[in-house]
Amino acid sequence: MYYTQETFKSKKGFTIIEMLTVMGIIAILASLALVSFGSAQRKARDTQRKNDLKRIQVALESYRSDSSQYPYTNATTSPPADAPSAAANSYKIACKVGGSLINLNWGSAFTCDSGTYLTTLPNDPTGADYNYVSFYVSGVTEDACEIDGEICTSYYLTACLENVKDSERDTDDGTPPAPGAGPTGNGDICGTAGTFDGRVSYTLTPTGK
């Protein structure tokens, strides 16, 4: 069999430049796909956080119906007197179990002497805790409600969202909360006071968002 020059020309492969160009395009497309996938995962976790808080909110209202007040906050570690400042830490729901005021860990049952309100208090999808601070109004100050006998009239229930542009986020993230501030006074709950850590807070109160 005879091979001509034209035969060899027809078997010419890709040049190095062409191969590098194709590889570069594939790398760019893969990066875009990863970014899109990561964004979708963050939004899915934020949706779960919001749904978790709404489930807890329903349970809190059931507790209030039975006990004529909301649960206490952290029976063993006193939060600051100012309720918004207290919300800057990971505080728990506390209620009477066996006659004593006990902290309920996130991930455990919401069970008190008055009944069971959730079989499991949900955790953040990343395994972190949510934040609960109940309070009563003393003059113009919202004092954290953590002593047996105080009547807890309201609360802040907060999660940290990964989508910093979420339309339902609290509006003052990254700034220290002011004493007596409203539900958007938890601006530094997702980081140290005045420091933005890449997340934004989302707070529910008895009246809604």
pTM of the predicted model, to two decimals? 0.72
Model pLDDT for residues 121-174, shown as the tens digit of each residue: 999 998 888 888 888 877 767 777 878 788 999 988 988 888 888 888 877 544
Contact 105, 132 (CB under 8 A): no
Q: Nearest to residue 146, comparing CAs of 108, 102, 180? A: 102
- DSSP letter at 79 equals P
**Is 125 part of any domain?**
yes
Does residue 200 lie in a domain region? yes
pLDDT at 180: 39
Q: Is the dihedral of CA 188, 107, 40, 167 positive or negative?
A: negative
**Domain range for residue 60?**
16-204
Residue 9 lies in a domain: no
* 105 domain residue, yes or no: yes
Q: With respect to residue 10, please indicate whether it lies within any of the assigned structural domains.
A: no
Q: Is residue 46 within 8 Å of residue 161, measured between CB atoms?
A: yes
Q: Which residue has the tokens 């899109």?
A: 36
Cα 137 to its chain centre, rounded Å, is 26
Does residue 11 sit within a domain?
A: no
- Would residue 3 count as lying in a domain? no
Query: Using CB atoms within 10 A of its CB, is residue 123 exposed (0-12), middle (13-18) or buried (19+)?
Result: middle
How many domains are there within the chain? 1
